[in-house]
Amino acid sequence: MIKINKLSSVVLVLILSILLAYASFSGGTSEAYIFPKLLSTVMIILSFLSLVLYFYNKNEKITEVDIKKLSIYLGSLLLFLVFGELLGFYFLAVLIFLIICYVYSEKKNKKSIFYNFLITLCFIIFIYFLFAILLKVQAPRFFLF
């Protein structure tokens, strides 16, 4: 569980605006950088304003992120990013669909696993029909699909 308070939000805004300002102002003197420079200046002003307001009003509730619960989902997205082009979209879509359905399912008995397989199959057929046949989208493939 990651805890997030108001100060971390202010620091994030400040760091982000400084980074973007650095990128904008170190880009060169070309006129193409005028607009990003203007924007990053506005962001720096806003982040300082939020810092001032933080000291003015510190009362803020703390929010939490249940990273443990989300790790499987985030991992499956990473799997797609790393192997998406290599293993093909349809193969990985089946895998990810099954993983998400199983891990985040309330019931994990044989019946629900069977339903997971059935729904995955139907959904992937629908996706294949919609994108590959109707819209002629040639997604990266692996062996037969």
Partner 1 sequence: MEFLNYFSNVFTFGNILILILGTVGGLLLGAAPGLSPTMAVALLIPFTFKMSPEQGLIMLGAVYTATVAGGAISAILLKIPGAPANIATVMDGYPMAQKGKSKEALHYCFISSFVGGIIGILVLIFFTPLLANVALKFGPSHMFWIAIFGVTVIATLDSNSIIKGLFSGALGLWLATIGYDSVLGVERFVFNPIFSGGINIIAALVGLFAIPQVLSMLEKKQDLSDQFQMEKKSLFQSMKYNLSRFKALTIGSITGVIIGLIPGAGGQIAGLVSYDQIKKVSKNKENFGKGEPDGIIAAESANNAMVGPSLVPLLTLGVPGSPTAAVLLGGLLIHGMFPGPNLFTIYAETTWTFINSLLVAQFLMLIFGLYISGLAKYVIKTPVNYMAAAITILAIFGTYSVQHNFADVMVMLFLGVSMFFLSKFGFTAAPIVLGLILGPIAETNFSQAKIIADTQNGIFDYLTIGPLNLTIISLCILSIIYGLFTEIKKKTNDKDQ
Largest CA distance in the chain: 65
Task: Please give the single-letter amino acid code of residue 107.
Answer: K
> Please, what is the minimum distance in Å from the beta carbon of residue 144 to partner 1?
18
User: Where along the sequence are the contacts to partner 1 (CB under 8 A)?
Assistant: 4, 8-9, 12-13, 16-17, 20, 23-24, 27, 30-36, 39-40, 42-43, 46-47, 49-50, 53, 57, 63, 65-66, 69-70, 73-74, 77, 80-81, 84-85, 89, 93, 96-97, 100-106, 119-120, 123-124, 127, 130-131, 135-140
In the three-class reduction of DSSP (H, G, I as helix; E, B as strand; rest coil), residue 3 is classed as strand
End-to-end CA distance of the chain: 39
- Name the residue with tokens 């193969």: 91
Question: Among residues 62 and 144, whose Cβ is nearest to partner 1?
Answer: 62
Residue 53, Cα to own-chain centre: how many angstroms?
29
Based on CB atoms, which residue is closest to partner 1, 136 or 143? 136
Q: Give how far the C-alpha of residue 144 lies from the chain's centroid of Cα atoms, to the nearest Å.
A: 29
